[in-house]
Structure 1
Amino acid sequence: MRIIWPQKLIWFALVSAVPLLEAAEYEYFSWRDTGHVYGKSPQCVPIPEDLRLCYSVGYNQMLLPNLLDHETMAEVRQQAGSWVPLVHKGCHAGTQVFLCSLFAPVCLDRPIYPCRWLCESVRDSCTPLMEAFGFPWPDMLNCNKFPVKDLCIAMNVTDEPERSDYTPTCPVCDSEMSTEVILERMCASEFAIKTKIKEARKDNSDRKVVLHKRKKPLRLGTLKREDLKKLVLYVKNGANCLCQALEHLQDNYLIMGRKTGKRYLLTGIHKWDKSSKEFKKAVKKLKSHKCPAYEAVFK
């Protein structure tokens, strides 16, 4: 079956202004023929500059079709763009190498897949970030598909010990105010409103966010107006992470969210700052900005 990838992941709302991470040194291990069958004969082609996910990965040529059965560069661009925000967030040093080994495989005589341990390491590090925005690790990246001992792509990762006094910022609460970041975060959300926060309190491992009654809808998506009146949001696994916005309840905020299961998750919060040109530009584009569809892949 042909794999269809999301056009805008989230995620990965998981967006930051940090430039694409330069891929660390990667290695090749002995391999076996995977038996992958292409619809077209594989060709070695340049990685285009607008393929943001992999342009800086460390090599200049890629195989097409790739290891996800994308046969045209247009399809690769469209689907790979979904994962750029995840690389931006830096949840794992090997994220770009792992994804690009599939989206833009290096030109060799035969295809080489990523090592299973690399997949598992990226998955374990990035899944909590993805879940904060309501996205699970997709089944199409099931790490059991990848080799253990045969030829595979790996990378050198230096593990730094965690500081015992470090409290992370909640992924949905970063303060980046660029237009691009806000719009990409919107694309990982279903609705956007302007409102104040009445209360924010711990709810087991999550944080419950109660909004003021007065709410100005900017983009409702699938959210109905009757649901807007009683809307309560949750920060997934946000009980103990930092979120400065939830400590200043007197301010107006741009609130973004999406429904996951029976709950509405908070996927973005930005102070309503009219003095910021970037913020004003983003708000102006919220209603008309076209976001790619990706939900079907993660159901």
Structure 2
Amino acid sequence: MGSAAVLFGRMTRLLLLFAVTCGASEYEYTWPEGSYNSGRSYGKAPQCVDIPDDLRLCHTVGYSQMLLPNLLEHETMAEVKQQASSWVPLVHKNCHKDTQVFLCALFAPVCMDRPIYPCRWMCETVRDSCSPIMEAFGFPWPEMLTCDKFPEDGVCIAVAQPNATEASGPSGPSPVCPPCDTELKTDAMVENICASEFAFKAKIKEVKQENMDRKVILQRRKRMVKIGNLKKKDLKKLALYLKNGANCPCQQLEALENQYLIMGRKVDKQYLLTGIHKWDKSSKEFKKIMKKLKNYKCPAFENVFK
């Protein structure tokens, strides 16, 4: 390789790094020999736009502008927000420290003169850490994020190796059953409720183990918070399953005298538990959550994970 080509390569690396150093300097763009051409064709020319504050998945990712259309073929900001919002609860679970950067590379790609995708191995690392959490909520790893679609070489987003003295951030998911590990913060709780098909206040009658799951049998009386597609006949003898929850801890299922805010969704013929939190009227944060839900319109997630 000639000296001019070497100099060009070095300058290009510097430019790529400069584009994402605003608060995200641990991430780098790699450029081995050759190039990655995704063959992506947009319905309209990509434009560089500000990442809005209400794009909660990505507004703290470390850069302020993104390409629209993005790399998942979303051509309007409204579509980006609607699709991206369903992933925010997963980021809260800390299943992998790079989940947000991986997702935002696709939902809100950094402004460059060509599309730059995550490296395949980065996708595989996030997938392997996060797919068990997703499965607990009844979601498979979606087709749109199939890792072999992403480049093994050429220009791609990678994670710089941290120094031994640097903090590595969250080391992985909590050992607590994912639906039981709910954070009592207004935005996080509202996002969990929105990502569930239904939510209600109820007491638990009985908890049984069935194979690798736990079956949660509810008392008949329920106060609906979000009804979704549930019908009255479904509510009468409703039982929820804690998917793969036979051996992970869930403190809420040990105190059956309490009232709970219970969230769920239907997968095939089963109703899965997607979140459970003590119904605590004495908590100011809990009151804020209930007040916000009265006037809050959840986005629709029907096709997000298909």
2: CA distance between counterparts of 1:266 and 1:250? 18
1: CA distance between counterparts of 2:264 and 2:127? 24
C-alpha distance 27-124 of structure 1, shift in aligned 2 (>3 A)? same
Q: Aligned residue for 2:31?
A: 29
Q: Aligned residue for 2:300?
A: 293
C-alpha distance 211-48 of structure 1, shift in aligned 2 (>3 A)? closer
1: CA distance between counterparts of 2:78 and 2:265? 29
**Superposition deviation, residue 287 in structure 1:** 5.7
C-alpha distance 43-284 of structure 1, shift in aligned 2 (>3 A)? closer
Q: Aligned residue for 1:275?
A: 282
2: CA distance between counterparts of 1:241 and 1:58? 34
Mapping 1:42-121, distance limit 5 Å: 42-121=46-125
**Superposition deviation, residue 167 in structure 1:** 7.4
More helix by share: 2
Mapping 1:140-151, distance limit 5 Å: 140-151=144-155
C-alpha distance 107-288 of structure 1, shift in aligned 2 (>3 A)? closer
Query: CA RMSD, aligned part only?
Result: 2.8
On the 8 A contact 1:33/1:110 being kept in 2, the answer is no
Q: Does 1:239 align with 2:246?
A: yes
Normalised to the residue count of structure 2, the TM-score between the two structures is: 0.80
**Superposition deviation, residue 286 in structure 1:** 4.3
**Superposition deviation, residue 234 in structure 1:** 0.7
Q: Aligned residue for 1:194?
A: 201
Normalised to the residue count of structure 1, the TM-score between the two structures is: 0.82
Aligned AA (2:70)? N
On the 8 A contact 1:234/1:265 being kept in 2, the answer is yes
On the 8 A contact 2:197/2:264 being kept in 1, the answer is yes
2: CA distance between counterparts of 1:53 and 1:263? 29
C-alpha distance 49-293 of structure 1, shift in aligned 2 (>3 A)? closer
C-alpha distance 292-116 of structure 1, shift in aligned 2 (>3 A)? same
- State which of 222, 237, 248 in structure 1 corresponds to 2:255: 248
**Superposition deviation, residue 115 in structure 1:** 1.1
1: CA distance between counterparts of 2:134 and 2:112? 32
C-alpha distance 254-108 of structure 1, shift in aligned 2 (>3 A)? closer
Q: Aligned residue for 1:174?
A: 181
Mapping 1:3-18, distance limit 5 Å: none
Aligned AA (1:228)? L
More displaced stretch, 131-140 vs 30-39:
30-39
Q: Aligned residue for 1:7?
A: none
**Superposition deviation, residue 64 in structure 1:** 2.6
Q: Aligned residue for 1:18?
A: none
2: CA distance between counterparts of 1:157 and 1:211? 48
Whose Rg is larger? 2
CA displacement, residues 235-270 of structure 1 (integer Å, 9 cap, x when unaligned): 111111111110111111121211111111111111
Q: Structure 2 regions of 5+ residues with no counterpart?
A: 1-22, 163-167
**Superposition deviation, residue 75 in structure 1:** 3.4
CA displacement, residues 192-246 of structure 1 (integer Å, 9 cap, x when unaligned): 2222212223222111112223333343221121221211111111111111110
1: CA distance between counterparts of 2:160 and 2:191? 30
**Superposition deviation, residue 23 in structure 1:** 7.8
